[in-house]
Structure 1
């Protein structure tokens, strides 16, 4: 494909930067600094997306992605994950871009790449989903996190303010439907950090408006966002921790995943390290080590509770043992309320 055709594909498929504007989205603008940060995150996501839809092979996109600042590179990889998944799901050509991407440098950002795949699923017709394949049976649940984030970010009134939940979510076809709901809620909670403009109290107020059995996963998503994206002072992180209350274990686990994603990709920044230390009780590198030591081994998902959830609960048990009963009750809430 010629460079002219690649540029045309980029212009056709890539949304405008204005779509990440807090004013356009109607999101809270806490301070000019926090607004600028979140809008930069969105622009970096779209840059990574554009690199993916324009490139000939994933290695070309990687060269550009690796030039981006540490703080924002993961978001660009997330955008590239969406871009490659869109290419896999659209008619024509080959359908292994995501697989090839995570076999290269994208594998170091696999958490973010799989979340990006969820963005693509939110935009592709559902009959195209089988072409958007993810090979890791443990981390595939992150795709639903990305789906939930996309829906809450672009359909905020419906998914956040009206607390909408989809009926009989069809993916993955071999996974428990009750757990798909929970992973989508984690993505919605993560998006709330952007909707609230990084205001800890506003995030808490929005979560409080949801049914109680959804609170744990929503706090988990917000905990991942405050650690990975930031936009707050040390005092605000402490404020967030206090507001999480009985859901601190879920927050600590999600913070661990956030800092693990940064450690494994070589993009650990001071803010993420500080947030992890406050929310998990240990420095970022140590939290990542807890995640690695707790990671399940194959075969996965042979029991009623997915291995991914067993992993999350194991991390939470180690980091916040005083909240162990709360973790277990929250983990079963969605299960007990199956459709």
Structure 2
């Protein structure tokens, strides 16, 4: 009798996993420019940016498929180092969704951050933001579990998600996100800026035009996101980055700050790339290592803050995350 029950439980596991994958699966087509309606005039750039999306989905589906953290890590580490951060970002989305949908088996993200995802902590926090976009009623619960400083990156990830999947509303239509107030709106725009790099296919003419359509009060954060995306994801050569720097005009400090964030993210994960190094040389006039060090120095004596509660006005108190960003911009 015991053998029969054990066999029944074992036979039921694949079907439950199959059901989970079936319900949560995202088609690879969703990461294509054709499906998203993104514009790109350069085939190589389009291939580069589409690969970002496909690698993200590879990590996402791995997290959905593997309950065992060691098996998940094995799958993520099959991705080449240049692209691996995107896989970890996708895995974080998958784990966060599972935490939200099966709370009795929660703490997947927390365990991931404490173990396999530690070196990719920035990308993991951003990936949680994708889950927030899908399960917005769990936003505050998610944020309360994350690092008090880096939890703002989840709001950044939320902004990227909305721009990537709903660009007609948030990029073209310049919609303001609901249920966000105070400084959270600024961080949302930083993620939205990253998505504009993809929406406009890294086109150095369309991007400044797109940002000019936004109210001036939103442009600084959008340019920060552009700086992070062009430095981390790549897609253009050094002449393109130089042209972007000129186009940024008064927002060059924000553009450079985004680039420094990208450099730090890659160096912590030990997956520094030639295009990240190149972008830092053009935007900062220094190496990616030196730009990343600026972000570390700016963290010294930083006050603590958490976006767990996002309602109410910002007032005169700047969150630690914004103080961090401004210190970096001041070094430009």
TM-score norm. by structure 1 comes to: 0.88
For 1:299-310, list aligned pairs within 5 A: 299-301=303-305, 304-310=317-323
Per-residue displacement from partner, 1:215-261 (whole Å, max 9, x unpaired)? Answer: 10000001100000001011101111110110000011110000100
Per the alignment, residue 245 of structure 1 pairs with 249
Query: 1:167 deviation in Å?
Result: 4.2
Looking at structure 1, the residues matched to 324 and 123 of structure 2 have their Cα atoms a distance apart, in angstroms, of 18
Matched, 1:16 2:27: yes
Query: 1:281 deviation in Å?
Result: 1.9
Per the alignment, residue 225 of structure 1 pairs with 229
Structure 2 portions without partners, runs of 5+: 1-9, 307-315
Query: 1:10 deviation in Å?
Result: 2.3
Per the alignment, residue 312 of structure 2 pairs with none
Query: 1:114 deviation in Å?
Result: 0.7
Looking at structure 2, the residues matched to 317 and 125 of structure 1 have their Cα atoms a distance apart, in angstroms, of 34
Q: Is the 8 A contact 2:100 2:138 kept in 1?
A: no
Per the alignment, residue 94 of structure 1 pairs with 105
Question: Which stretches of structure 1, 4 residues or longer, exceed 4 Å deviation after superposition?
Answer: 296-299
For 1:56-71, list aligned pairs within 5 A: 56-71=67-82
Per the alignment, residue 173 of structure 1 pairs with none
Q: Is the 8 A contact 1:95 1:132 kept in 2?
A: no
Query: 1:128 deviation in Å?
Result: 6.8
Structure 1 portions without partners, runs of 5+: 170-176, 321-339
Matched, 1:135 2:135: no
Per the alignment, residue 182 of structure 2 pairs with 178
TM-score norm. by structure 2 comes to: 0.90
Query: 1:91 deviation in Å?
Result: 3.4
Per the alignment, residue 50 of structure 2 pairs with 39
Count of equivalent residues: 312
Per the alignment, residue 328 of structure 2 pairs with 315
| RMSD, aligned α-carbons | 1.7
Per-residue displacement from partner, 1:105-140 (whole Å, max 9, x unpaired)? Answer: 201111111111000010014157525653210111
Per-residue displacement from partner, 1:181-225 (whole Å, max 9, x unpaired)? Answer: 000000110000000011122111100000011110000001100
